[in-house]
């Protein structure tokens, strides 16, 4: 076989595309055999259109692979040619430039590491502030959720035959327990005596709580607040209680207001979680 034939490889193997070349050579031989056999059929007067078309198609595909498909090693059929580096490339200069880039990157990394080490205490302190801020926010949100779902006592006052009664209504979503009332405050304090400790009050229920308040002789609470409280002062009463499971303690301050028609308003403030340092 003459060397340099354009349609045959010099050798089948030895490079990364050697196996591909072998398959292409086998298919080329198969296509050539099919075309020759069909040519004999045409000469003998027995043409086979299907086989002829398949053979021609195979040959076209193989020619396309041979002349158009290229790889780093040349054409698919040029399996024995050694790699030739691109012309005009100075590999020594390229290696020097690459080393310079790597050196600059390493220097930048060292500078960043030094900055991180220098600012490490400041970053740690900043992280502590962030953690404390998150914990404070979570605590505030938790307290707000507890206060929103806490028992919410409301109080109305009634005097009947010199007897004074406070009606405690729980307008919150759960039972109020361990209820305490008083004392009365403004610039002074006057204690309010309960006839008996209030019973637990279920959600949306009202319970009467008789009281005894004789700060000056037989003066009622209504008369005392109306007569003895300075006009520029607010008389308040703090009510304390816990939730239905006695897990959390709450407080609610009421501002007492009297009216000429005998109405005695206990105006409620917001429900708050009760801290250990809260006064009764």
Residues 101 and 179 in one domain: no
Q: How many Å apart are CA 120 and CA 244, to the nearest integer?
A: 49
Residue, of 112 and 75, whose pLDDT is higher: 112
The CATH code of the domain that includes 198 is: 2.60.40
Lowest mean pLDDT among 6-10, 24-28, 47-51: 6-10
Residues 96 and 33 in one domain: no
Q: What pLDDT, on a 0 to 100 scale, did the predictor assign at position 14?
A: 46
Q: What pLDDT, on a 0 to 100 scale, did the predictor assign at position 267?
A: 93
DSSP state at residue 220: -
Lowest mean pLDDT among 2-11, 105-114, 123-132, 198-207: 2-11
205 in a domain, yes or no? yes
Using H for helix, E for strand and C for coil, what is the string for 112-128? Answer: HHHHHHHCHHHHHHHHH
Residues 68 and 135 in one domain: no
Question: Does residue 43 register a pLDDT over 70?
Answer: no
Residues 112 and 166 in one domain: no
Residues 190 and 204 in one domain: yes
Longest dimension (CA), the chain: 143
Question: Does residue 205 register a pLDDT over 60?
Answer: yes
Residue, of 47 and 203, whose pLDDT is higher: 203
Question: Does residue 102 register a pLDDT over 60?
Answer: yes
Q: What pLDDT, on a 0 to 100 scale, did the predictor assign at position 42?
A: 60
124 in a domain, yes or no? yes
pLDDT confidence tier of residue 134, bands split at 50, 70 and 90: confident
51 in a domain, yes or no? yes
Q: What pLDDT, on a 0 to 100 scale, did the predictor assign at position 116?
A: 75
Residues 60 and 28 in one domain: yes
Residues 161 and 259 in one domain: yes
Residues 214 and 174 in one domain: yes
Residues 187 and 232 in one domain: yes
Which whole number is the average pLDDT over 230-247? 87
pLDDT confidence tier of residue 207, bands split at 50, 70 and 90: very high
Nearest Cα residue to 20 out of 55, 65, 64: 65
Q: Using the 3D structure, point to which of 84, 107, 127 is the last residue of a domain.
A: 84
- Alpha-carbon distances of 224 from 156, 188, 195, 230, rounded to whole Å: 17, 12, 19, 11
34 in a domain, yes or no? yes
Residues 196 and 121 in one domain: no
- Residue ranges making up the domain that contains 61: 1-84
Residues 237 and 161 in one domain: yes
pLDDT in tens, 247-272: 999 999 999 988 888 889 999 999 99
Number of domains, the chain: 3
Residues 263 and 194 in one domain: yes
Q: Using the 3D structure, point to which of 100, 132, 147 is the last residue of a domain.
A: 147
């Amino acid at each position: 076989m003459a060397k340099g034939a354009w349609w045959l490889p010099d050798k089948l193997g030895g490079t990364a595309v050697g196996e591909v070349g072998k398959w292409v050579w086998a298919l080329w031989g198969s296509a050539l055999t099919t075309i020759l056999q069909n040519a004999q059929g045409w000469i003998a007067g027995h043409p086979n259109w299907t086989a002829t078309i398949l053979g021609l198609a195979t040959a076209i595909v193989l020619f396309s692979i041979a002349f158009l498909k290229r790889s780093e090693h040349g054409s698919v059929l040029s399996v024995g040619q050694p790699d030739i580096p691109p012309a005009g490339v100075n590999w020594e200069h390229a290696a020097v430039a690459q080393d310079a880039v790597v050196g600059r990157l390493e220097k930048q990394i060292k500078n960043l590491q030094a900055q991180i080490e220098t600012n490490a205490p400041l970053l740690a302190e900043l992280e502590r502030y962030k953690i404390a801020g998150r914990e404070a926010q979570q605590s505030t949100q938790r307290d707000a959720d507890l206060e929103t779902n806490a028992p919410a006592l409301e109080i109305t006052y009634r005097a009947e035959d010199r007897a004074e009664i406070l009606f405690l209504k729980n307008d919150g979503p759960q039972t109020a327990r361990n209820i305490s009332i008083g004392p009365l405050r403004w610039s002074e304090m006057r204690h309010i005596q309960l006839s008996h400790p209030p019973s637990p009050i279920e959600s949306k229920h009202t319970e009467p709580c008789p009281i005894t308040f004789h700060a000056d002789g037989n003066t009622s609470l209504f008369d005392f607040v109306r007569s003895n409280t300075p006009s520029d002062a607010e008389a308040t009463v703090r009510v304390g209680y816990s939730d239905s499971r006695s897990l959390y303690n709450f407080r609610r301050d009421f501002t007492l207001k009297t009216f000429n028609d005998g109405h005695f308003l206990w105006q409620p403030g917001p429900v708050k979680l009760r801290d250990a340092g809260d006064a009764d």
